[in-house]
Amino acid sequence: MKRKKGFTLVELLVVIAVIALLMAILLPALGKAREQARRAVCGHNLKEIGIAISGYVGDTDLLPFYGGKDPSYSKTEFHDDPVDDERHPYVVYRGDEPKWAGPPLVPMRLACLYARRYMEDPKAFYCPSNRSATYQYKSYANPAPWGTLPQVYNQNTENEWVRVGYSYYPIDETLKRPPTGMVNVHGLYVPVYTARRFALLSRKTPYATDGLWDIENISHRSGIETIGGNKRVKNGGINALFKDGHVRFARDEKVTFYGQDAGTLFNNVYWDVAIGGNEKPTDVDFRYRFFPIYSMIQP
């Protein structure tokens, strides 16, 4: 009698074990490749933003409208205090104050590039690695088009805003210590207002980056580990756009804040200072003017 061909139980178990081993080896590599691709898309988005800003500046002689004003800025409508900028570098439309709500809605920051058609696709204002729904395009695509209020997403938040996935804060390199444009926040001098003209834009500090809102939602990282009760970001980094148009992926670099060198950008000590820990003071100026503003990353 002819014996039927087939796998024995042992052979099946061996095959399953080999498949499981291959998956264990390949899945991390696939995840890393996927993040590398997202990081490349993110860098490309910032490149496109830089090119669009160059076109905007060429036509208007000004950087995109920020929301505040400085003494040299001639356009006074929709502005706050003469030496105070509107504080949120990621907000592009606001429906909670008449001076911005319109109609029509007043585009701010990167939305100026969309409103004037220097950039056609609002998805380009969002990093594909953004984890928080607050900074994802899908949260502001209903109803369409982007920039229309009210948004369905905002019904569950305290503010009627449209946010983007990048922070935009062009720092004027001519600003000096008080009373000429800097304020002392817990031992660190922070810009009071943004640059209005491209010629005055800081060459050393990026003017648009991935957002840095909290340690859990850093866009580019491989994970978070806890060492001695302290959280640290693994393989953290952010894309940063500089005045000369280049985009650099900035990794875990030294930063100076709170009057001393207290660690690195992606360890927990930084975040204790930035958002307020048990023994560190909180300050709205520190959080919204400096903490999202790239920690003075150098080119």
3-state SS record for 84-120? CCCCCCCEEEECCCHHHHCCCCCCCCCHHHHHCCCCC
Task: In whole angstroms, give the CA distance from residue 8 to residue 249.
Answer: 52
pLDDT tens-digit readout, 62-117 = 899 887 654 444 443 333 444 456 778 888 998 877 777 777 888 889 999 999 99
Backbone φ and ψ of 6, nearest 5°: 180, 175
Phi-psi region of 147 (alpha: psi -120 to 50; beta: other; left: phi over 0): left
Question: Residue 11: which residues within 8 A CB-CB, separation 6 or more?
Answer: none
Name the 3-class secondary structure at 225.
strand
Q: Is the pLDDT of residue 288 over 60?
A: no
Q: How far, CA to CA in Å, does 124 sit from each of 42, 54, 81?
A: 8, 16, 32
Q: What is the pLDDT of residue 279?
A: 45
Determine if the peptide bond prior to 170 is cis (ω within 30°).
Answer: no
pLDDT tens-digit readout, 143-197 = 778 888 878 887 666 678 899 999 898 888 877 655 556 666 555 566 767 888 8
Q: Which helix (H) or strand (E) holds 185?
A: strand 182-185
Token pair 């978070």: residue: 224
Q: What is the pLDDT of residue 255?
A: 54
Confidence bin at 41 (pLDDT 50/70/90): very high
Q: What is the pLDDT of residue 44?
A: 96
Task: In whole angstroms, give the CA distance from residue 45 to residue 164.
Answer: 12
Q: What is the pLDDT of residue 68?
A: 67
Question: Can you say how many angstroms the Cα of residue 214 is from the centroid of all Cα atoms in its chain?
Answer: 11
Q: What is the pLDDT of residue 281?
A: 47
Q: What is the pLDDT of residue 67?
A: 77
Nearest 5°: the CA angle 183, 188, 191 is 40
pLDDT tens-digit readout, 75-88 = 433 334 444 567 78
Query: CA nearest 265: which of 239, 224, 233?
Result: 233
pLDDT tens-digit readout, 203-241 = 878 899 988 777 778 889 888 887 776 677 788 888 989
Name all contacts of 21-30 with Cβ < 8 Å and 24+ positions apart. none
Name the 3-class secondary structure at 236.
coil
Q: What is the pLDDT of residue 215?
A: 75
Is the pTM for the entire model greater than 0.85?
Answer: no
